[in-house]
Structure 1
Amino acid sequence: MSLTLAMLLAGQTVPQPTPEPVPTPESAQAQDDASAAQGAPAPAGAGDIVVTARRRAESVQRVPIAISVIGGAELDKTGAFNVNRLQQQQPSLQFYSSNPRNSAINIRGLGAPFGLTNDGIEQGVGFYVDGVYIGRIGASTFDFVDVERVEVLRGPQGTLYGKNTTSGALNITTRPPSFTPEARIELTAGNYEFVQAKASVSGPLSDRVALRLSASSTQRQGTIYDVTSGRNLHRFENNGVRGQLLWNASDSLNFTLSGDYNVQNPLCCVQYYARVGTTQRPIARQYAALAAAFNYRPPSTNPFDRVTDLDAPINSRQEIGGVSLVGNWDLGPATLTSVSAWRYWDWQPQNDRDFIGLPITTVSQNPSQQKQVSQELRLASNGTNRLDYTVGAFFFHQTINTQGSQVQGSAASRFLLSGNDANNPNVLNGLTSTNTINFDNTSFAVFGKLNWALTDALHIQPGLRVNYDRKSGFYESVVSIRNAQYAFTATADNVAALLASQPTAAARTTFQNQINTLAPQRYSPRFSAWNTSGDITVSYDVSPDIHAYATYARSFKSGGINLSGLPLNSTSTGVDLSTQTVKPEKVNNYEIGLKTQFLNRRLTLNLAGYWTDVFDYQATVNNNAINVIRGYLANAGQVRSRGFEFDTSFRPNSRLNLYVNGAFTDAKYVRFANAPCPPELSGGSAASATNPASPAGQAGSATQPSYSPAQCDISGQRLPGISKWSFSFGGEYNVPVGSKGGEAYVGYDGSYRSRFSSNPSPSAYTWIEGHSLSNVRAGYREGGINVFGWVRNVFDKQYFELLSTQSGSTGLIVGQPGDPRTYGVTLSTRF
C-alpha cells in the first residue's frame, strides 16, 4: 500500500491540466459492436479490437497468445451473462458446477481436478476482474455486471499475471467511469418467470472525478420440481451492485476505487435419477434391491421429466464482495501500476447428498468463509523502444474457515453396510461428523516479460517468474451418535480406546463400521516451496495482417494440502498422514499459432496448435471406500493435452457477420496407475492374488462374491469433462429500416460438443453424449434503443451438464440436466 500512497502524494503535487477526452456512449457502443464476435474484425477502416491481455493496450491480432475476445454487446445479445453460458461460445473453455463451491474452470481440459472441491488446492485457470485475482471460483457463477469485454487466454500466463496460471486465464474488464454523462438500461422477461434487469449510470462529479454505478438482478423460477416440498428448484436469484470512482489526479496519474457486493440465493443444486448401472456389490445390495426393500420408487425414471423427491433442504446461497484501488502513473518511458484489493466470500449451502427421497445421507455441507488480500505492482514500458518490458511483484494472502457436517439417516445402514449391521438402522441412524477446517495460504512472486524487437518484424519475448507458496491447514472431524441403541462421541484422541472398550467381537465390528463410515481424525498439514518458471515466445510479422508465433512455457501449479479428510491407515483408527500434502504440478507447454486477416480485414482466421504435458497432475482419489462422499487429493504420474484450435469470422459487408470457432482436444492420462475405479469395478470384496478382480459390472451373489481392485490403472484413458470436438458458430444479418438509421436483424448462435466422460475414471455409465444447442434472436435497433426476442435451446435438446455416482457403489447414476428451451424479450436503451 506504501507505493499506492506515494502515487497519491505524487498526484497532489502535479499541475492540474484539462483531462483527456473520453469516448462518448455512442463511440463506446461502436467499440462494443466492433468486438462483438470472437476475434471478429470491425468493418474496413475501423479500429482494431484493443485488449489488455499482456497488461498493456494493444491490438488482439498482434498479441502472440491464443486469445478470444467477447465484447459487452455480444454478451448482452447472446444471453451469455455468466461463465456457464460463455462456454457455449468458447470451444476450448469448460465450466463444471455441481454447485457454486464445487465449480471448476478448465481450458484445454486442464485447470482443476474433476469432482468435489478441496480447499487446499488452487485453480489452474486464473479468474480476474479489472486486474484483481479472484481466489474463490464460486464468484464465476455470478452474473456479469456492466462488462466491457471478456478475454479468454489459453495456455500458461504466469509471467504476466499476478497469480500463477498454468492453463490460462479469464480476464474480465468492466466499463470504466466516463466524463461524458451516460446511462444504460436493459430489461428482459421470459418464460419460467424469467426477469433480468441491468442498469448503469456514469458521469463527472468534477473535472477530475467521474463515477460509475452499475446494478444487475436476475430472477427465474426453477426448472426442476421437487414433489416433496412442492417447490421449483434450480431457480435464478442473483443480485449485484458495483461502484467505481475515477480520479484523474493529473495527465499522468489516475486512480480507480471500486467496490462490489453480490448475493446469490438459488434453490440448487440438485442431481437426481438418471439411470442405473451394475456394480460389483452383491445383487441384494444394489440400487434396485435396496429401493425395493424400502418400497421406494423415484417420482420418474425419465430424468427429463425434471422431477425429484428430496427429503432434505437444498440451497446454495453465497455472498461475495470487496474493494480495490488501481493506480496508474505514467512516468514517460514506462507506466507504474498498483492493484490493491480486499475480497470476501461467504458460502451457506444445504444439500441432500444421497440424491433420492430416502434418509441415507441427510446432511452433507461445508459452509465456508473466505477472505483475501492482494497487492500487485507492475512497471511496463510504454512501447517506444526496441526493448519493451513488464516487470512486477505480486502478494496474495487468503484464509478459509469451513464448518463441515455430515449426518446419516435411518436408511444409511442398509445402503452403506453389509452383514448383520446392514439390517439394523440404528447402527448409522444419526451418525454425525462435525468438521472444523481452517486454511491459510500465502503466495509471493516476482515476474517479468521482455519484448525484444530484433527487427521490425521479428520479436523475441522471454519471461521469468519466481514464486513462493506457503499453505497451512487444520482438519478435525468429531464423530458422534445418539439414538435408542448407541451413544458415543469419538475424536482422534479417544477412538482407539473406544474401539478397545467394545465388549464383544460383534460390538467391535459395529463400532468399526461406524467410524469407517465417518472417521474421527485430526491433522495439521503444511506445505511450502519455491519454484521458478518461465516462457519464451518468438513472433514474426509476415505482413501487417499476418502474424506467426511459437511459444515454449515451463510452469508450475502450486502444491496443496488435503482438507477433506484422509484415508484410514492399516489400524483403521488413524489416518494415513503420508497423504496430507500433494506435490506441485509441473507443466511443459509447446504452442504454435498464426493470426491472419484478409480481404481488407473483413476475414479473420486465427490458428493455434499445442502440446501440454503435466507431471504430478493433481487428481481426486477415494481408495475404493464405498461410503466416502469426498475423496482426497493425490498425484497422477502424467497427463497430456494436445490439440488445435481455430477462430474465424467473416464480415463481407456492414449487413452480415459470420463466425465459426472450433477446438480438437486430445486430453489423456499418460500415467495414472493408482486411480479410483469406475463404478462397474467397485463395490465388491477386496481382490487379491488368490481372488483376482472380477469382470466389470458383474454383481456378486450370496454364494459367489465379486472382487474389486483397490485401485485401477487408467493410463491412456481420457480426462473427464473433455469433448474431443467442440464448435461454436453463428452470425447476424441486418437490413435498414426507415430513414433514421434503424435496422431489423436476425441472429443465430450454435454450439456442439462431442461425447465426454463425467467421471474422474471413465465409466460406461457416465458418458454424456454429444449434443448441439441452437439459440436465435430477432429484433430492431435504432440509435440507442434495441428490442429483440430470443429463444435459447430452440429445439429443446435434452442433455446433461454432468452425471455422478451415488456413494456406496449402489449403481445409481444421478444427473444434472441442462436448461430446457427458454424464450423471452429484451429491451435495452442507452442515453
Structure 2
Amino acid sequence: MFGKNTTGGVVNVVTKGPDLDRFGGYAKFTYGSFERTEAELVANLPLVEDKIGVRVGTALTHRDGFGRGGAGLALTGRELADDDEIFVRGSLLFRPGEALSVRVNADYHTVDESTSIFRSLRSALGGFIALKSINPDIYVGNDFRADRPFVRSNEFNLNGTIEVDLGAATLSSITSYRTQDSLTLVQSAPSTAVLLGQQSDLYAQELRLAGIAVDGRLKWQVGAFYSDESGVDIDVLKGFSLDTTTAASNKGWSVFTQDSFALTDTLTLTGGVRYTHEKRRVRSLVFTQANKASFDGVSWLVGLDFKPNSDTLLYANVSRGFRSGAIDQDNIATIVQPEFVLNYEVGLKAELFDRRVRFNSAAFYSDYTDIQRTSFDPNSPVPVTVLRNAAQATIWGFEGELNAVPVAGLTLGATVGYTNAKFDKFLDDNGQGVVIDRSDDPIGGPRWQLSASGRYEFDISSVAKAGLQANYFWIGKAILAGPSVAAVLAPGEAILNSYGLLNAQIDLDIADLGGNLGGLNIALFGTNILDKEYYAGGIALALFGGVSNRIVGEPRQWGIRITKEF
C-alpha cells in the first residue's frame, strides 16, 4: 500500500547503506568484446565511530557498437548499439542515538549512445512509412538520414529517510526528488524519423507510523503520500514536421493502512486499504490546447499466510489495484477513466532436506476492466487513433523456482513461467472504417519462459577456490498482434520467434593476506556463447498496408572481470 500508486505491485530495490564500523569496498574492472571496458569503485568510510558513515561508488561503461547503420545494401559506416554510461552514487548515514537515524542518498546516471539495431521486415506505404531491411546481415539496422540515431539521457535522484523510535511505534519520513531528461531518435524509412523524449521533475513525500501491539500478534502501519510531478513530453515526427509536444503536471495524495494479525502461531491475516486522489493537467506547446482532470481510486488487499514450520510458507491473497485516469497527449480533448485490476494469487515457499533444496511457486489470475489502450475509435466517422477505455482482459499463469545442492560445492537451479493473456472484450477499427472484434485476441508477450543453471565450486589450495558455472534461458514465441492484424501481414510477421541463450563463466577466488576468500576474484565469461541471432523485441501493426519492425538482440561476447576487495 505504500509509495506511489501502481496497478499490480512494485519491485522494491533496497540499496546497501554505509557501515558505521568498518572501512572497506571493492574495485572492479572488465574488458571484453567490442572494446568493452567497465570500471567500478565502491568505498565505505566510517567518519565518526557508531555515528556517521558514508558509502560512495562510481561506474564507467563503454562498448563499441556491435551493429552498423544501413540503407538497403549500402552501409553508412555509423555504429549502432554502442554503450556509454556514467553512474555515480553516494549515501550518508547519521545515527546520533538509538532512537534516531537519518540517511541521505544521491545518484546521477548519464547515457549517450546510438539506438538499438532496428530492422523492418516489410515496406509500408511504398517505403514512405517503413522500408524493408534487405541486408542479409542481421546486425545492420535502419540508418537513413543525415542525423544519426541516438539515445541520450540524464537522471539525478536525491532522497532522505528519517526514522524516529517513539517506543510504542516508529515514525518514518521519506523525502524524494528526481529530475530526468531523455531524447531518442529512431528511423524506419528515409522519409521518417521519430524524436521522442521527456523532461521531468518529481517531488514526493511520505510519512509512515508503524508498530507492534497485542503481545506482538498485531503489526500495524498507517501512512500518507504526496507527489508533485511536472515535465515536457517530446514527440516529433521529423519526416512530416509533425510536432505533438506537450507539457504536463500530475499532483496526487493518498492515505493508507496495512496491518497483519497472527490468528494462531501458524496463521496470519493481512489486510490493507488505500485511497488515492490525483489531478492531471496537459497542454500543447504547439497549439492552443489544454485540459485538466481529477481522478480517485481505492486499492485494497486481503491475504492469509500459513506457516506450519520454519521452512514452509503457504499463502493466498486477493487485491485490487488501478492505473490512474489520463489525458490523451495526442488528443488533448480526450480524457480516459482509471483502469482497474483484481488480482488473485496462491503460492508456496519451502526449504527442504536440511535446506539443501528450495522450492518457490505461485499461480495467479488477474481480471482487468476499462483497459487504457491507444487504438482506432470504432465510433468515429473518420479513422482516428485515441487513448480510450477500450477493453477488458484476463491474465493468468504460474511460475516456479527450484534450487538444489545435491553435493557439496554443486548448486543447480531451474525456473519456469507461463502467462496466458488475452482480451475478453475489445472493439477496434482497421483504420479503414471497418469495425473489428478483437475479443479473444492475445495481448502479447511470450507464454513460456524457462531457465536452467549450474555452478560448481572446488578448492584448488588452502588459499584459492575455483568456480565453473553456466546458465541457459529460453523465451517462448511472443504474439505481437492478433488474427486481425496477422491477416494483413505475411506469415510470421505478427510474432516474435522463440530463442534460447547460453552464458558461462570460469572464475578464481584468491584469499587476501588474512586468509579470507574474496580478496581477489578473476572471472572469464561469455554471453550468448552459441552466437544465436535473435530479435529481442518488435511491433506489428495493420496500418498503411502493414508494419512489422524488430529490435535485434546482442551477439556472442567474451570478457574478463577482475574484482579486488579491500
TM exceeding 0.5: yes
- Residue type matched to 1:614 in 2? Y
Structure with the greater alpha carbon radius of gyration: 1
Q: For the structure 1 residues 654 and 256, does the alpha-carbon distance in structure 2 shift closer, same or farther, using more than 3 Å as the test?
A: farther
Distance in 1 separating the partners of 2:217 and 2:558: 53
Alpha-carbon RMSD: 2.5
Q: How does 1:26-105 map to 2 (within 5 A)?
A: none
**Does structure 2 retain, via aligned residues, the 8 Å contact 1:536–1:553?**
yes
Shift of 1:170: 1.8
Distance in 1 separating the partners of 2:351 and 2:303: 21
Distance in 1 separating the partners of 2:9 and 2:298: 18
SS of the residue corresponding to residue 366 of structure 1 reads: strand
Shift of 1:654: 4.1
Shift of 1:808: 5.6
Q: For the structure 1 residues 777 and 309, does the alpha-carbon distance in structure 2 shift closer, same or farther, using more than 3 Å as the test?
A: same
Q: For the structure 1 residues 463 and 319, does the alpha-carbon distance in structure 2 shift closer, same or farther, using more than 3 Å as the test?
A: same
Q: How does 1:476-515 map to 2 (within 5 A)?
A: 476-477=285-286
Match of 1:378 among 208, 214, 227: 208
Shift of 1:327: 1.2
- Residue type matched to 2:283 in 1? F
Counterpart in the other structure of 1:718: 442
Counterpart in the other structure of 1:387: 218
Distance in 1 separating the partners of 2:265 and 2:485: 50
Distance in 1 separating the partners of 2:26 and 2:485: 47
Counterpart in the other structure of 2:255: 446
Distance in 1 separating the partners of 2:194 and 2:383: 9
Counterpart in the other structure of 2:283: 474
Greater share of residues in helix: 1
What do residues 290-309 of structure 1 show as CA deviations (whole Å, max 9, x unaligned)? Answer: 79xxxx99774435143444
SS of the residue corresponding to residue 305 of structure 2 reads: strand
Counterpart in the other structure of 1:571: none
Shift of 1:403: 4.4
Distance in 2 separating the partners of 1:559 and 1:752: 36
Say whether 1:748 aligns with 2:470.
yes
- Residue type matched to 1:248 in 2? R
- Residue type matched to 2:85 in 1? N
Q: For the structure 1 residues 588 and 804, does the alpha-carbon distance in structure 2 shift closer, same or farther, using more than 3 Å as the test?
A: closer
Counterpart in the other structure of 2:520: 785
Shift of 1:712: 2.2
Distance in 1 separating the partners of 2:169 and 2:399: 35
- Residue type matched to 2:275 in 1? V
Greater share of residues in strand: 2
Distance in 1 separating the partners of 2:553 and 2:481: 17
Shift of 1:547: 1.3
Counterpart in the other structure of 1:758: 480
Counterpart in the other structure of 1:733: 456
**Does structure 2 retain, via aligned residues, the 8 Å contact 1:629–1:807?**
no
SS of the residue corresponding to residue 712 of structure 1 reads: strand
Distance in 2 separating the partners of 1:536 and 1:297: 52
**Does structure 1 retain, via aligned residues, the 8 Å contact 2:6–2:323?**
yes
| Greater displacement, 580-589 / 629-638 | 629-638
**Does structure 2 retain, via aligned residues, the 8 Å contact 1:340–1:375?**
yes
Q: For the structure 1 residues 470 and 298, does the alpha-carbon distance in structure 2 shift closer, same or farther, using more than 3 Å as the test?
A: closer
What do residues 507-535 of structure 1 show as CA deviations (whole Å, max 9, x unaligned)? Answer: xxxxxxxxxxxxxxx43222212222211
Distance in 1 separating the partners of 2:384 and 2:533: 29
- Residue type matched to 1:640 in 2? T
Say whether 1:216 aligns with 2:51.
no
Q: For the structure 1 residues 767 and 303, does the alpha-carbon distance in structure 2 shift closer, same or farther, using more than 3 Å as the test?
A: farther
Q: How does 1:521-536 map to 2 (within 5 A)?
A: 522-536=288-302
Distance in 2 separating the partners of 1:263 and 1:768: 31
Q: How does 1:584-733 map to 2 (within 5 A)?
A: 584-623=338-377, 631-674=385-428, 677=430, 686=432, 709=434, 711-720=435-444, 722-733=445-456
Counterpart in the other structure of 1:310: 144
Q: Which runs of 4+ in 1 moved over 4 A?
A: 296-299, 628-631, 759-762, 805-808
Shift of 1:766: 2.4
Q: How does 1:110-129 map to 2 (within 5 A)?
A: none
Counterpart in the other structure of 2:4: 163
Match of 1:276 among 110, 116, 122: 122
Distance in 1 separating the partners of 2:140 and 2:533: 11
**Does structure 2 retain, via aligned residues, the 8 Å contact 1:335–1:382?**
no
SS of the residue corresponding to residue 138 of structure 2 reads: helix
**Does structure 1 retain, via aligned residues, the 8 Å contact 2:143–2:149?**
no
Counterpart in the other structure of 1:59: none
Structure 2 stretches of 5 or more lacking a match?
Answer: 511-516
SS of the residue corresponding to residue 456 of structure 2 reads: strand
SS of the residue corresponding to residue 809 of structure 1 reads: helix
- Residue type matched to 1:343 in 2? R
Say whether 1:769 aligns with 2:497.
yes
What do residues 674-730 of structure 1 show as CA deviations (whole Å, max 9, x unaligned)? Answer: 2x54xxxx6xxx45xxxxxxxxxxxxxxxxxxxxx2x4221111112x211111220
Distance in 1 separating the partners of 2:39 and 2:325: 42
Distance in 1 separating the partners of 2:439 and 2:114: 39
**Does structure 1 retain, via aligned residues, the 8 Å contact 2:168–2:212?**
yes
Match of 2:531 among 796, 807, 810: 796
Distance in 1 separating the partners of 2:134 and 2:496: 20
Match of 1:194 among 22, 36, 42: 36
Distance in 1 separating the partners of 2:195 and 2:272: 42
Distance in 2 separating the partners of 1:335 and 1:321: 29
Query: Once the two structures are aligned, what percentage of the paired residues are identical?
Result: 24
**Does structure 2 retain, via aligned residues, the 8 Å contact 1:615–1:636?**
no
- Residue type matched to 1:827 in 2? I
- Residue type matched to 2:231 in 1? I
What do residues 19-56 of structure 1 show as CA deviations (whole Å, max 9, x unaligned)? Answer: xxxxxxxxxxxxxxxxxxxxxxxxxxxxxxxxxxxxxx
**Does structure 2 retain, via aligned residues, the 8 Å contact 1:806–1:814?**
no
Shift of 1:382: 5.0
Counterpart in the other structure of 2:85: 238
**Does structure 1 retain, via aligned residues, the 8 Å contact 2:481–2:541?**
no
Shift of 1:777: 0.5
Counterpart in the other structure of 1:124: none
TM-score by length of 2: 0.90
TM-score by length of 1: 0.62
- Residue type matched to 2:525 in 1? W
Q: For the structure 1 residues 618 and 400, does the alpha-carbon distance in structure 2 shift closer, same or farther, using more than 3 Å as the test?
A: same
Shift of 1:348: 2.7
Q: How does 1:277-426 map to 2 (within 5 A)?
A: 286-287=126-127, 300-302=134-136, 304-311=138-145, 312-352=147-187, 355-356=188-189, 358=190, 360-361=191-192, 363-381=193-211, 385-408=216-239
- The count of residues paired between Structure 1 and Structure 2 equals 542
Say whether 1:261 aligns with 2:102.
no
Q: For the structure 1 residues 820 and 622, does the alpha-carbon distance in structure 2 shift closer, same or farther, using more than 3 Å as the test?
A: farther
SS of the residue corresponding to residue 175 of structure 1 reads: coil
Shift of 1:546: 1.5
Distance in 1 separating the partners of 2:139 and 2:393: 38
Distance in 2 separating the partners of 1:299 and 1:619: 29
Shift of 1:192: 0.9
Q: For the structure 1 residues 631 and 243, does the alpha-carbon distance in structure 2 shift closer, same or farther, using more than 3 Å as the test?
A: farther
**Does structure 2 retain, via aligned residues, the 8 Å contact 1:547–1:594?**
yes
Shift of 1:432: 2.2
Shift of 1:734: 0.9
SS of the residue corresponding to residue 666 of structure 1 reads: strand
What do residues 308-350 of structure 1 show as CA deviations (whole Å, max 9, x unaligned)? Answer: 4421421110000021111122223322211101110011333
Say whether 1:813 aligns with 2:541.
no
Counterpart in the other structure of 2:514: none
